[in-house]
Structure 1
Amino acid sequence: MYTDDDPQWIRFYTQQIEPFWRDHVESHQLERPDGVLLHWYLHRPVHPQGLVLICPGRIEAALKYQELVWQLAQSNYAVAVVDHRGQGFSDRLSNNPHHGHIDQFQDFVDDLEAVVQQVTNYYPKVPQYLLAHSMGGAIAALYLAQHEHRIEKAVLSSPMLGVLTGNKPKWFAQTMVIGGALLNRIFSPRKPWYFFGMTDYRYVPFDENELTHSEARYQMFRDAYEQNPEVQLGGPTFNWLAQAFAAMRAAQQQADKIEIPVLVLQSGADSVVDNHSHQRFVARLQDQRSQIKCIDGARHELFMESDRYRQPALDAVLRWFQPDASQ
């Protein structure tokens, strides 16, 4: 194996990981009751030791998880990844396909439940684990709190349970978002509005990114989005942000309904989510084995990070999913 700062790493990625995704990951579709068509993906070994369900973050397509799926497959896990409604190859929800938009955050949660049901049909007896990132962490928390499930353990990576609002107080940011969403519904109910300063997808140079220290992994992510323009997504709309704030509050309030052990992987240098929100969340969980592991110095995208940050995160995931690892 090559480290991500080795010139051979990109060759390894293009010659090993991308062919694995093409040849060993199936594409599936699921139509929801409101007519939205979801895409989800499944690596299906014959006798897996378990099934890992990946719940991505905002703007993320399943394509972004090719390396992680490959690595989980090396440990003989079946792996499923969902393209959330409004992103990836799933149906978009606005007149502008670049809008990061949602009508009701609860739709994400119920979509996840429907995908889990479908995946379970393939593996009705193997242990199930949930791995969620950022926005997916809020979705996963609400899913675990609200739905009956067979998930045995969960890992939430940089979960969106609270966000940083820069130099503006959170109450002011929320008021601005909710007010904008209300005006949008009144004056343009069928055409969502971007939040202030948000635009359609644009290629952000590595030197301007705040998500990862790994130039190689960042390049692979951007190349995949350039080669598949259908998965490109721009900034969030007023309503997405309003729904996100409501979802974060709900996830904190409903945390005491989550019965399984949860590992929160925290990025020490995160500039997107509020790490203090993770302590509040874990303190309310039922299972006392739940814990927080902070990866010091890591940026928000733990599984796109440089190996010095990513490998400890991956090792923690693999240990957590082993029997009795959380005890």
Structure 2
Amino acid sequence: MNAVVDPNGPSLVNIPSNPMPEGGRVGFFRTSDNVQLRYALWAKSAGPQRGTICLVQGRTEFIEKYFETVADFRQRGFAVATFDWRGQGGSDRLIGNRKLGYVDKFEDYWTDLHSFHGEILLPDCPPPFYLVGHSMGGLVSLLAGANDRMMFDRVFLSAPMLALDRQPMSMAGMARFGETLSFLGLGQMPVGRKADKPMSEATFPGNPLTGDLIRYMRSVDTVRARPEIEIGVPTVRWAAAAFGAMAEAGRDSFPARIRVPLLMLAAARDEVVSTAAIEQLGLRMRTGRHVVIAGARHELFMETDVIRGQVLAAFDAFITEQS
């Protein structure tokens, strides 16, 4: 890897409960529309060189949350390249309130990924390239598979955000409602429930993310060590953009646009995104399929050892053994 990293630039949170994998290199890069994003690179740690995993996160997440998963990929012979989306983690915030999730339009996340591919992956990482995306990052990854089938050889998704259940309208209807509120000047208004609370040990029982307390607390400890990487509830503008992208993924014409080998994992107990929507898309894709992980909650890479074992077995069958 030939990335030039500024020794006085960004850093990663390295704490005893969530140790950083050795050999990581961290820096900033700028997207094509001049947003500064934090990124990190790791070379493989064992085995034959199999290429590079490009790992993209869900909403609210940050590089440090995936240290264990980075180590898993490296032990399989993969280099790992990852970054924080605009508006979260160690990347540029887009509005004055740093704690709110915001994006002007969902296509801006595609700009982040496309810029990362051109600025960091192509010049600094060994091919072939495999895209691994979780939740919101999974939806961006699907759009990447539809927009440019040459960027990645295969795409592996964890609980992609294709739809949200229990909404008063369709995804398209929710997008139109959000666009109307944004037009009225309410785009930066937070969208959340009074019951929403920051993650802590007290919020673990009954949480929708994971059944593993140790992995849940790693994120809590990381944010406590560096509070500025945290974001909370989204804004009206973010919601409008996200619902619009989900509506696009739900169109009848969308499955035929995916022309790259793709595997989606869904969590049977997911209360964050719609498992049914993942199943419906998986049945309709020509170059992709889906698997539902029994007993799993939303954050498949942060789940118990038994569930993570199934996730990594699916990864090995779909990517490691094909690399």
Q: Decide whether aligned partners of structure 1 residues 235 and 138 sit closer, same or farther in structure 2, where only a CA change above 3 A counts.
A: same
Shift of 1:307: 0.9
Do residues 37 (structure 1) and 39 (structure 2) align? no
- 1:73 aligns with 74
Do residues 256 (structure 1) and 252 (structure 2) align? no
- 1:306 aligns with 304
Q: Distance in 1 between matches of 2:128 and 2:222?
A: 31
- 1:123 aligns with 125
Q: Distance in 2 between matches of 1:92 and 1:220?
A: 23
SS at match of 1:67: helix
Q: Distance in 2 between matches of 1:209 and 1:196?
A: 16
Do residues 271 (structure 1) and 271 (structure 2) align? yes
SS at match of 1:151: coil
Q: Distance in 1 between matches of 2:145 and 2:78?
A: 21
User: TM (normalized to structure 2)?
Assistant: 0.86
- Unpaired runs of at least 5, structure 1: 1-12
Shift of 1:264: 0.8
SS at match of 1:24: coil
- 2:184 aligns with 186
Q: Distance in 2 between matches of 1:15 and 1:75?
A: 24
Q: Decide whether aligned partners of structure 1 residues 130 and 196 sit closer, same or farther in structure 2, where only a CA change above 3 A counts.
A: closer
CA contact (8 A) 1:200 1:234 kept: no
Q: Distance in 2 between matches of 1:235 and 1:29?
A: 25
Do residues 195 (structure 1) and 191 (structure 2) align? yes
Shift of 1:257: 1.7
Shift of 1:181: 4.3
- 1:170 aligns with 169
Which of 298, 314, 317 is 2:315 aligned to?
317
CA contact (8 A) 1:257 1:286 kept: no
Shift of 1:241: 1.0
Aligned length: 303
What are the residue-to-residue correspondences of 1:1-327 with 2, within 5 Å?
Answer: 18-20=19-21, 23-45=22-44, 48-117=49-118, 118-123=120-125, 126-165=127-166, 168-171=167-170, 175=173, 178-187=176-185, 192-197=188-193, 202-204=198-200, 205-253=203-251, 254-287=254-287, 290-324=288-322
- 2:7 aligns with none
CA contact (8 A) 1:162 1:274 kept: yes
Query: Which residue identity lines up with residue 28 of structure 1 in the other structure?
Result: G
RMSD value, Cα: 2.5
Q: Distance in 2 between matches of 1:295 and 1:34?
A: 38
Shift of 1:151: 1.4
Q: Decide whether aligned partners of structure 1 residues 199 and 94 sit closer, same or farther in structure 2, where only a CA change above 3 A counts.
A: farther
Shift of 1:28: 2.4
CA contact (8 A) 1:201 1:233 kept: no
SS at match of 1:170: coil
Q: Distance in 1 between matches of 2:217 and 2:85?
A: 23
Q: Distance in 1 between matches of 2:320 and 2:31?
A: 33
Q: Decide whether aligned partners of structure 1 residues 111 and 199 sit closer, same or farther in structure 2, where only a CA change above 3 A counts.
A: farther
- Of all paired residues, the percent bearing the same amino acid is 31
Q: Decide whether aligned partners of structure 1 residues 98 and 174 sit closer, same or farther in structure 2, where only a CA change above 3 A counts.
A: farther
- 1:5 aligns with none
Q: Decide whether aligned partners of structure 1 residues 133 and 196 sit closer, same or farther in structure 2, where only a CA change above 3 A counts.
A: closer
SS at match of 2:320: coil
Q: Decide whether aligned partners of structure 1 residues 315 and 89 sit closer, same or farther in structure 2, where only a CA change above 3 A counts.
A: same
Query: Which residue identity lines up with residue 39 of structure 2 in the other structure?
Result: W
- Unpaired runs of at least 5, structure 2: 1-13
CA contact (8 A) 2:178 2:239 kept: no
Shift of 1:80: 0.9
Shift of 1:202: 2.2
SS at match of 1:316: helix
Q: Distance in 1 between matches of 2:210 and 2:69?
A: 15
Query: Which residue identity lines up with residue 271 of structure 2 in the other structure?
Result: S
Shift of 1:108: 0.1
Q: Distance in 1 between matches of 2:250 and 2:208?
A: 26
User: TM (normalized to structure 1)?
Assistant: 0.85
CA contact (8 A) 1:26 1:43 kept: yes
- 2:10 aligns with none
Q: Distance in 2 between matches of 1:252 and 1:58?
A: 20
Q: Distance in 1 between matches of 2:20 and 2:320?
A: 28
